[in-house]
Amino acid sequence: MLASTRILKQGLGFLGLIACLFSCITPFQPDTVRVEPMLIVDGQITDQPGPYTVRLTRTSDYSIKSVNLLEPGATVVIADNLGNQETLNEQSPGGVYQTSASGLRGVPGRRYTLTIQTRAGKRYVSESEVMPAAPPIQKLYYESNYAPATGIASQRQTWAVYLDTKDPDTLGNYYKWNWTHYEMPTACKKTFVASGNYYTGISCCSDCWDITRCYTCVNINSDANINGKAISRQPITDVPFTSFSRYYLEVEQQALSKSAYQFWKRVQQLTGNTGGLFDVAPSSVPGNMKCTTTPGEPVYGYFGAVGISVSYLYVDRSTGQGGPNLDLPTVIPYPTNPSCIVCENSLYRTPNKPRFWTY
């Protein structure tokens, strides 16, 4: 009896010691890491019709996660080496600047410079870039890819899109490929109805197209090993099987300067890291912008002068194997309030008919 009482007292004493230790621990609150907001520049001029867009943001500290701050009230000017220039108009809600549709247009062979004067009085200037000419896209095509269902994966049907072109005989050509998908929406506004597992929608007031791009894709190449030869079966994208309808795709073949190619190459290396032992260490990617009022101040992003050739492709998905991964149905009741939604022009939607749209 005495032994059990002694053990009980020892146990209670041990628990009391643990409680005391924990009660004496002060939670560690690390100081918030604050960094000076740095300018980020994202824009280019091309030899295609404008308008051209320059986006200005600033980095935020770690207390504001995944957010860059808009940089409104700046004066943004694009100029060439022949004295032609245009001051860009700031768009609402700010931080986005555009040329006019009938304004300055890029010409291959000319040098272009971007100048920024912020509302705070700081001046930033890009290194001048010669705009290269892009060779034409010779062929744009697709091939069906079907993987049947296995024990651990469901069936998968896609269409791989490829491009063929011819590299010029001169050494030192650099390429970047972008794609854009346009599709007319079933409604300009949709609301999910959980009880019925469908959407209710409101129609668009006019023709409208949803825009899909890959904002994280960096698809580049150079003629270092293929100078003057054909570039064949250059991968562009995979088209998903979400419908039996045709899939409309526009592809841009961009001709870059050497410095622009090097910039995107570093971006590609960083975004492609998998966390392996020999991956490139995370770091900022230097661009071609400099702060002339505060020399040495870091500036991120790139302003490029880019030659472009464009082509389009309709992918016929009616022969897809298996069933498409359909979205939930959309029901448009009548009448609706409002009766329709205006199709606003943005990064993700436009009322402007795509240039090669045929249906």
- pTM here is 0.83
Residues of the chain with CATH 2.60.40: 39-130
Yes or no: say if 171 and 186 are a contact pair by the CB < 8 Å rule.
Answer: no
Return the SS3 of 300. Answer: strand
Tell me which fold the domain 39-130 belongs to. Immunoglobulin-like (2.60.40)
3-state secondary structure labels for all residues of 283-295: CCCECCEEECCCC
* Residue pLDDT, tens place only, 125-169: 999 999 999 999 999 999 999 998 888 888 899 999 999 999 999
Residues 6+ apart with CB under 8 A from 92: none
Neighbours of 56 (CB within 10 A): 26
* Residue pLDDT, tens place only, 29-65: 545 445 578 999 999 999 999 999 999 999 875 544 5
Please tell me the predicted confidence (pLDDT) of residue 21: 39
Q: Identity (one letter) of the amino acid at 108?
A: P
What is the C-alpha R_g of the chain? 28
Structure tokens at 316: 């016929």
Q: Report the residue count for the chain.
A: 359
DSSP 169-227: SSS--EEEEEEEEEE--S-SEEEEETTTTEEEEE-BSS--EEEEE-TT---EEESTTTT
Alpha helices in the chain, H assignment, sequence order: 2-23, 258-271
- Summarize the confidence of residues 14-21 as an average pLDDT: 44
Q: What is the C-alpha to C-alpha distance for residues 90 and 104, in angstroms, rounded to an integer?
A: 16
Residue 67 vs residues 36, 61, 85, 185, 309: alpha-carbon distances, Å: 14, 9, 32, 29, 34
Which of the four pLDDT bands, split at 50, 70 and 90, describes residue 171? very high
Q: What is the C-alpha to C-alpha distance for residues 325 and 155, in angstroms, rounded to an integer?
A: 11
Please tell me the predicted confidence (pLDDT) of residue 322: 87
Q: Identity (one letter) of the amino acid at 27?
A: P
Most trustworthy range by pLDDT among 11-15, 272-276, 290-294 = 290-294
- Summarize the confidence of residues 214-220 as an average pLDDT: 92
